[in-house]
Amino acid sequence: MEKKITKVRIGIDYIVSLVLLLGGAACFAVSSTGMMILGGTLLLAGIIVFFILKSGYRLEGEDGVFRKEEHFFPDTRFDVIYSEISAGRMISSFQDEDKAIVVRLDLYRNKVSGKVFGHLFKYVPYDYVEKVPLTLLQ
């Protein structure tokens, strides 16, 4: 069964928006023209950030909010990573490499429950193709 991944707002998203809105309101309250322009800009940025910023992920059928980590590897490590992830085992060491990035591993972690889900992709020109669907890792 394929799990659906949706982006959701978490506490830090609300805090960032609130800080921008309060900072904008404080600057707007000052009678200086420059501060009013800055305040209006901060208010507008706070409103835009509130509607756009979503940094958490919710997985269908799972409780809690997950954080996403992306790891990139060269093609030479694909077979090892593929066998570990498809078997549901956590890879012991993640050493991201900058050269010949062809393999992408997305990890979704929940700090409260301690669950980790992995999603493996391989690069074909202009796109990453799914090789292992979202899998619970142990």
pLDDT in tens, 57-76: 999 888 899 999 988 888 88
Can you give the pLDDT at residue 16? 96
Q: Are 26 and 83 in contact (CB under 8 A)?
A: no
Can you give the pLDDT at residue 74? 85
| Ranges under pLDDT 50 in the chain | 1
Can you give the pLDDT at residue 93? 66
Using the 8-state DSSP alphabet, how is residue 101 labeled? Answer: E
